[in-house]
Amino acid sequence: MRKPIIAGNWKMNMTPSECAKLIGELRPLVESEACEVIVCPPFTDLAAAKEALEGSSIRLGAQNIHWADKGAYTGEVSAAMLKELGVEYAIIGHSERRQYFGETDEGVNLRARAALACGITPIVCVGESLAQREAGETEAWVGAQTKAAFKDMGADDAARVVIAYEPIWAIGTGRTATSAQAEETIAFIRAVVRELYGEAAAEAVRIQYGGSMNPKNAAELMAMPDIDGGLIGGASLKAVDFSQIVNCAAEGAK
């Protein structure tokens, strides 16, 4: 059985002192062995987060990573830098990074492989726009993104990757993906992994739903057989809301 995984993407929110306060509120609410819990604060909060998480089962993640070990890449952060700060996960290829900062499938692949090489688990994001969904291009688009992310990656490494399916059209738009729609696309992503690496890898890889999972829809989404967790945005900034999602995932794992 795949262990559920809930990751909070704080995006560009929280100063270091606010980060420590939120983690302090969160810790007593989400200590569960049944579910893997990750917080992904901004780079400037990572040191404060590491200290606040000391002795906790909550894992630390970053919101991005660069593929180079070091060099003339102003504003970027390497896997080794993150590893020394205690980072265990890194979000890669988020739709906002692709949309606003021009990140490409090739760059996503390089970042994911750099993370794996340094012992950091990549959370690779894939997803389609409203125009692509309405044109019936969801599977073609998401399948191509998934295959590009795994390029030149062996089966053992592929099984360690976490995939987050982001229906871009359902994030902050007022539109929502039904649990059936989410399950259909996530099952398709698993089928792509199966095509690339075989049954064992497909059954091992964990696939999150990243389309505005919240306390109201978490239980229904987590009940779907191929949905292994959530990449949580706004709800991860509220300790009670995030803990309710974690507890839904933990309950479903029992």
Residue pLDDT, tens place only, 155-186: 999 999 999 999 998 876 767 789 999 999 99
In a domain, 238, yes or no: no
What percent of the chain clears pLDDT 90, i.e. is strictly above it? 89
Which segments within 49-204 are labelled E, that is strand? 59-62, 89-92, 121-126, 162-165
Better-predicted residue by pLDDT, 212 or 35: 35
In a domain, 175, yes or no: yes
In a domain, 103, yes or no: yes
In a domain, 240, yes or no: no
Which residues touch 139 (CB under 8 Å, ≥6 apart)? 185, 188
| Among 94, 103, 128, 183, the one annotated catalytic | 94
pLDDT at 33 over 90: no
In a domain, 45, yes or no: yes
Reported as type and span, the H/E element at residue 187 is helix 179-197
pLDDT in the model for residue 103? 97
Give me the residue label for tokens 């080794």. Answer: 80
In a domain, 191, yes or no: yes
Angle at 199 between CA 193 and CA 204, to 5 degrees: 70
Q: pLDDT tens for residues 122-159? A: 999 999 998 999 999 999 999 999 999 999 999 999 99
Cα(2)–Cα(88) distance, rounded to whole angstroms?
Answer: 18
In a domain, 144, yes or no: yes
Average pLDDT over residues 216-230: 95
pLDDT in the model for residue 117? 97
Has 166 been annotated as catalytic? Answer: yes
Q: Yes or no: say if 148 and 231 are a contact pair by the CB < 8 Å rule.
A: no
Q: How far is CA 245 from CA 22, 61, 180, in A?
A: 16, 18, 19
Long-range contacts of 154-159 (CB under 8 A, 24+ apart): 155/197, 155/198, 155/200, 155/201, 157/113, 157/116, 158/193, 158/196, 158/197, 158/201, 158/205, 159/197, 159/200, 159/201, 159/204, 159/205
Entry pTM? 0.96
Angle at 164 between CA 247 and CA 21, to 5 degrees: 50
pLDDT at 254 over 60: no
Helix (H, G, I), strand (E, B) or coil at 68: coil
> For the chain, what is the domain count?
1
pLDDT in the model for residue 169? 87
* Distance from the Cα of residue 237 to its chain's centroid: 15
Both tokens of 251, joined, read: 């309950």
| Domain boundaries, position 108 | 5-230
| Residues 81/87/89/91 CA torsion (nearest 10 deg) | -60
| Among 36, 103, 128, 166, the one annotated catalytic | 166
- Can you give the CATH number for the domain in which 30 is found? 3.20.20.70
Q: Which of 69-78, 88-97, 207-216 has the lowest mean pLDDT?
A: 207-216
In a domain, 64, yes or no: yes
Has 88 been annotated as catalytic? Answer: no
pLDDT at 64 over 90: yes
